[in-house]
Amino acid sequence: MSEKGVVESFDAHWGAGWIRDERQRRLYLHCVMIADGSRHIDPGTRVTFVRSSGLLGVDEAREVRPLAASGAIEGVTSLP
């Protein structure tokens, strides 16, 4: 099931970052999980994703897809 959130941070050098979901929980994001294959996503980007348990037992985001500019998520804002 798809969820929504905001990219909290993304380090292009490491190819990893964090997404904050609608309940303010953090999920790990690796660049290979960006659905369009771009390997980069800007912090503050609103996204949909599928939650999955990662190799270390930490929740991670898979099938990450940016939302259109009109895809605002109520109660979730980008971080400075």
pLDDT for residue 1: 83
Q: Which residues have CB under 8 Å from 44's CB, separation 6+?
A: 6, 7, 78, 79
The tens-digit pLDDT sequence of the chain (80 residues) is 899 999 999 999 999 999 999 999 999 999 999 998 899 999 999 999 999 998 878 899 999 999 976 544 445 555 44
Q: Model-level pTM?
A: 0.78
Range of the domain at 43: 2-66
Establish if 25 belongs to a structural domain.
yes
Tally of domains within the chain: 1
Closest to 33 in 3D by CA, of 66, 56, 68: 66
Half-sphere exposure of residue 70: CA atoms within 13 angstroms, side-chain side: 0
Establish if 77 belongs to a structural domain.
no
